[in-house]
Amino acid sequence: MTEMLFLKAKTLDGWRQAAETTHKAQFERLLKQAQSYASVELPCEHPDDSITYIGMGAANLAFANLLTDDPQYLETLRYWLKTGIGFPHWGKKRMPDHDLDASWLLFGFSLALNWVGDRLPAAEREALIAKLRLQGERLYKFSITDIGTSWTRHYWQNHNWICNGGFLTAAYALAADDYDTSAWINDAIVDFKRVLSVFPEDGSDYEGPVYWRYGFQFLLFPLHLLAQESNIDLHDNDFLRHAFDYRIAVAAANWVNTANFGDCHDRKSSHSRMMLYRLASLYRNGHAQWLANHFDEIGEWDREGREGMVKPGLLPEAWVDFVWYDPTVEPVSVETLPTTMVFPDLGLLTTRTSWDKDATYLAFKCGTPNGMRGWQLGQMFNRMYDWKTIKADHDHNDANSFILVRGDDYLTVDQGYSKAKFTKHHSTLLVDGQGQYLDGDKDPYKGLKEAWGGRLENWFFAENVVYTHGEAAGAYAKNLDLTQFSRQMLMLGAETVVICDDVALAAPRPLQWLLQTDFAAQLTGDQRWLVSTESHLLQIDALEPAQVAVDQWEQEISANPTSAKPDWIITRDQYTLVLSPAENTTFTRYFVILSLVEREVEQLACEFGSAAQIGDTLIAFASGRRHMQIPSRLTTDAAWCAINNETMAAGNVTSLWHNDKLMFIASAPVEVALTERGCVASAKHPTWISCAVAQEPSSVVTEGREVQAKWDGELGLLRFQVPAGKTQVVWQ
């Protein structure tokens, strides 16, 4: 075991030298934070509120004293330790001694003991050791007696990571004093190995960006300790490696706001500087390093420190900022990242028109509670061991919902935090007034079996074209008779989002199609509404059903984010545009155009499909498997298509005619986006395709190699083969 936890990378003199050189900014923040504690008056008795901040406060004070030898930090630390030790139990309103408060204090107080315990008066040091032993035993014994019903086997939930991380840290600190904590360490090792084995490789976390920000650190903390203290390095893990991808994907247009799926206290940052530093260092991730630096430059960390609603918060992470900062990682702007990212396990697609702060941003979600991997593996654990291991109450019953943002403005919204989970708060569908899963429950997935769940069916994206398709019928109770809820969404450039929903039922029932906004929608035409935000607008054209009953709700969303602070209530209002078919039928199609500018939208008569003309763009979605036809305009077997002067995009297509000209042929169905410069094609098998090209190209290239292509000058078609998968082909 090393002398000091978390600090093996350097000697103490090395850390002190870094404080004067490479880590000077981080050191200054640490001292500022430690100094702020001197004026804090702690409660004499355990408050009703959470006490997690006391743990991180102790760690900052101890680390500041360790680096500076300044006695003022030690004196303040003694007061903080005495206060915490004086509480007979850690945690009051929620699972005293057995949950988050106990774990955070075990973590911070154990670091104080390890770093500066020998500087404490002997009696105070012994009192600290005794309290850590007591609280560690309480937490550990709970973990081995309450197996499978509480956080002990909730592998996908932050409580599991924080609690195991708390007694693991105490175990390492107490082991230095010859206290046998080997069982604590071994059980924590088993737990974290299991956690990392069951999370998805795409890096996604169903709890959403806020709880990612709160809980993910307690994967990084224990793994750091395991590598340092037990020589068990678990960092070679794809979930961890891609965690930054997930977090930047759910950062909205201005990077500070979020796609706040799941329980989210607010829509703001939920980034963490220390975690960006750690991911940057572990995986040489220059994008994470750049974003941490960028937020320093624009003052975002200062704002988050003042206003952040996740406690203990950003400022108390000062000591971790110092330890995890790695100046050798070269920053790389996030603007070099892809603008569209997909996380199949969660059923999440996010896209932005650019990395500019005023970009248009869309996030679409249609997946399974807990994520697909977690849902199915959790069901298996439950059957094998009679556990209740799926605890997904920070997830929401929001399959086939979406969030649309432009710049700083939310054009469509998600509810954020809610204790009782209601589908009526999301931009999706109610059947006979009922939502998804156990609608209205705190944990709407409690006791449900593996057959439940939505699914991200398909996605395709190319320049200025993003398509996604979700199927959510499995998210609704069987007695609602819903057999299909297929949502296709098409985003074209920065100003157009098209929604095509097909809803089928075994028996006629009322339907309510929901669109959530911050501001009330104003009727401006026949089935046309306008929503005006602070700087932008959203025009809504409901082309199908042809006749709808319209309602608009004003809903108050209220939540108590933590039972540890029962008087903390978050409320906000949102407006819901509700569209219902005039009559109950067994099949309904919703065909809705969302425009970010005011403009004319013309519905077109389309045989075996639905079509509209939006400016110079023709958009169509098929009904069934017959060729869509608009006389002299369009004939295609595509499931969907979008055509304008610059791009022809289509999905599940083998042939497409536009304006009586053959534009495309494929020997098997593909997704394709064709421009005058080339095409992007996604194929399930090696496929021959023919594309309309104005003139014979001098070269046809894919991935840096020339493709053998055949040019038919009479027909104006270029023919070549694309392999299975997604391929970009360029000609000139």
Q: Mind listing the pLDDT tens digit for each residue in 432-487?
A: 999 999 999 999 999 999 999 999 999 999 999 999 999 999 999 999 999 999 99
Assigned domain for 604 exists = no
Residue 453 and residue 375 in contact, taking contact as beta carbons nearer than 8 Å: yes
How long, in residues, is the chain? 732
Assigned domain for 698 exists = yes
* CATH number, domain with residue 695: 2.60.220
**What pLDDT score does 639 carry?**
98
**What pLDDT score does 317 carry?**
98
Return the C-alpha torsion angle 383, 387, 391, 396, nearest 10: 30
Assigned domain for 522 exists = yes
569 plus 702 within the same structural domain? no
Assigned domain for 532 exists = yes
**Kind of pairing between the strands at 537-544 and 587-595:** antiparallel
321 plus 349 within the same structural domain? no
Spatial distance between the Cα atoms of 252 and 249, rounded to a whole number of angstroms = 8
pLDDT digits (tens, 9 = 90+) for 506-515: 999 999 999 9
Read off the pTM. Answer: 0.97
**What pLDDT score does 562 carry?**
82
Spans in the chain with pLDDT lower than 70: 1-2
Look up the domain containing 690 and give its range.
Answer: 611-731
**What pLDDT score does 439 carry?**
97
Assigned domain for 5 exists = no
Task: Supply φ then ψ for residue 157, to 5 degrees.
Answer: -115, 145
- Domain count of the fold of the chain: 3
Assigned domain for 284 exists = yes
Assigned domain for 606 exists = no
> Per residue, what are the HEC states of 390-435?
CCCCCCCCCCCEEEEEECCEEEECCCCCCCCCCHHHCCCEEECCEC
Coil, strand or helix: which one is 387?
Answer: coil
Residues in CB range of 481: below 8 A, 6 or more apart: 431, 505, 506, 507, 509
**What pLDDT score does 566 carry?**
80
- Which of 599, 626, 641 is the last residue before a domain boundary? 599
- Which of 287, 306, 336 is the last residue before a domain boundary? 336
**What pLDDT score does 2 carry?**
47
